[in-house]
Amino acid sequence: MEPPGSSASNNTLSSAGGACPWEVSDRARLCRFLCYGSEGDMYTARGEGHVTMENAAALLSFLQEGRGAEVVEEVMKFAQEGRAVRLGPTFFALALCSQHPELKTRQAAFKALKVVCQDPAQLFSFIQYKKELKEGMKCGIWGRALRKAVSDWYNEQDALSLAAAVTRCKQREGWTHQDLLRLAHTRPASDAVALISKYVTKGWKEVQAAYADKENSDEVIKVLSYLEVVEKVKHSRDETEVCNLIEEHKLEREQLLTTHLKSKQVWRALLKEMPLHSVLKILGKMTSNKLLEPGSLETQTVCDRLQSESALEKAKIHPFSILQASENYKRGQGCQGKTKWEADSNILKALDSAFYKSFVNVEPVGKRLLVAVDVSTSLSSIVPGTAVSTAVAAAAITMIFAQTEADTDVLSFSDGRVVPCSLRPNMTLADVTAELVKFPNSTTDCTLPIAWATGNRKCVDIFIVLTNNPLWTFSASPVETLTKHRLASGANSKLVMCGLTSIGHAIADSEDCGLLNICGFDVGAFSVIRSLAQDLIC
């Protein structure tokens, strides 16, 4: 932590009190784009819009200036360090760089392909973006460099891992492995990759005929055995046999037929090795099909895993993900309303326990935070795209920051009134919710928390304001109030305005790179806030 007035940051204020470079640079716009798919200061939760050229002006500017290698380097950082909330923009940027006129940029992009695209779905997405970017041009996309890069992607994989990957994810975005291997003119670098290539392009029968009487290496034998299991499952109608194969070879549901997934016995076998993230997503479905019944062994197994600190830490599940899963499960029906179930009380208790235990998975940003909850309007709405009420969401967000950051102030505020809240470590989510909304509401003024910090000589690095009211009036703009705090405290303060019920309009428009708008809320919002706090997107 730099002391107040430190000049270590790129966004330091001048000693004369004037505003220094808080304007949004092209690099900041590029990093925002790579992080969440927009160059603007607005992150929309659950917004998975398709990436287009209209969103990538800064990216194009970098390429026009001959700085494509820098773009590729940033793409790799965002992919490797998990900074990209949405991966589409990184594939789009890499695809654009891969067909840039400058040779150095193209070479860097193709070299980065196997680093950025870790699985087949990501590779297919990259290829599709290349196709879309080339539409309208006279040349095709399958030049020598792309053919080599795609061939290297397949050839440099571990053979058994590749066999599992091509059988789990067979196609995406209108592309198949057969398409890519054929168009890339791939020459397998090993006998095992040659076997997988033949399986993908010619089918299992030709593989059997070709390898029946050959002297095969140990690696080829392992791959043959694995593919034989996958084929056996595809043609088996015997539930017991399918379950045995799932358990013995750790097969996943993507490798099964739709008819298999109608069987409780098959789901029971899948559940034993199912990743915890997947378990959370289909708790309702497994309860609906009676796999998870009150008092059953399967229900107890799920509850034990949800309450296991080691399992939660290994899966790196964020507490807000667990909250969303819990509220969805509690609702008793799917998002479309087709699947319905009666929530099991033991599972709900396990989810509640998991919420608190998963706080260890939140990595602190190490900044001075002020989290302020606007109680000027009723917090009884629902966060768009979730089953979570805005009151519970605000309490959960506050708890997560308060319990994982060493220096955090918490406020409730309404027009003309700011109330500091004292959160004890042993408080439950219900306790925190009650604490935040304990005084009457009035009108909204989201500049109050910043003014309170300035008046109380608090140095704040990140203001996080949670409001249920996207339309509000104020005596001064958020940026003006933030600027006053920067000048008074010497801190390089930033402001995150979270409109919990907003579906895409900004709380405050600004060209100040220290301000971020969040519309709605999801797990990705925590990553975006973290990136802003660490100067990664500003």
- Residue-wise pLDDT for 366-389, tens only, equals 999 999 999 876 677 899 989 999
Q: Give the C-alpha separation, 502 to 32, whole Å.
A: 20
Look at residues 327, 402, 349 and name the one whose alpha carbon lies nearest to residue 372: 402
- CATH domain 362-534 topology: Rossmann fold (3.40.50)
pLDDT tens per residue across span 33-88: 999 999 999 999 977 667 888 889 999 999 999 999 999 999 999 999 999 999 99
Q: Give the C-alpha separation, 191 to 198, whole Å.
A: 10
Residue 329: partners with Cβ closer than 8 Å, 6 or more residues away: 283, 284, 287, 343, 347, 348, 351
Residue 528: partners with Cβ closer than 8 Å, 6 or more residues away: 35, 36, 43, 85, 516, 518, 537
Residue 468: partners with Cβ closer than 8 Å, 6 or more residues away: 374, 377, 378, 379, 381, 390, 499, 500, 501
User: What's the pTM?
Assistant: 0.90
Confidence class of residue 9 from pLDDT cuts 50, 70 and 90?
very low
Q: Give the C-alpha separation, 302 to 407, whole Å.
A: 36
Handedness of CA 490, 494, 495, 496 (dihedral sign): negative
Residue 104: partners with Cβ closer than 8 Å, 6 or more residues away: 68, 69
Q: In whole angstroms, how far apart are CA 260 and each of 53, 281, 326?
A: 42, 19, 27
Whether residue 3 is predicted with pLDDT greater than 60 in this model: the reply is: no
Look at residues 457, 367, 359 and name the one whose alpha carbon lies nearest to residue 403: 359
Q: Give the C-alpha separation, 117 to 75, whole Å.
A: 11
Tell me the three-class secondary structure of 305-361, residue by residue: HHCCHHHHHHHCCCHHHHHHHHHHHHHCECCCCCCECCCCHHHHHHHHHHHHHHHHH
Whether residue 319 is predicted with pLDDT greater than 90 in this model: the reply is: yes
Q: In whole angstroms, how far apart are CA 57 and each of 26, 27, 487?
A: 9, 11, 32
Query: Which whole number is the average pLDDT over 214-237?
Result: 94
- Is residue 303 within 8 A of residue 271, CB to CB? The reply is no
Q: ∠ at Cα 333 (331, 336), nearest 5°? A: 125
- Is residue 112 within 8 A of residue 94, CB to CB? The reply is yes
pLDDT tens per residue across span 401-453: 999 999 999 999 987 789 999 898 899 999 999 888 777 666 778 899 999 99
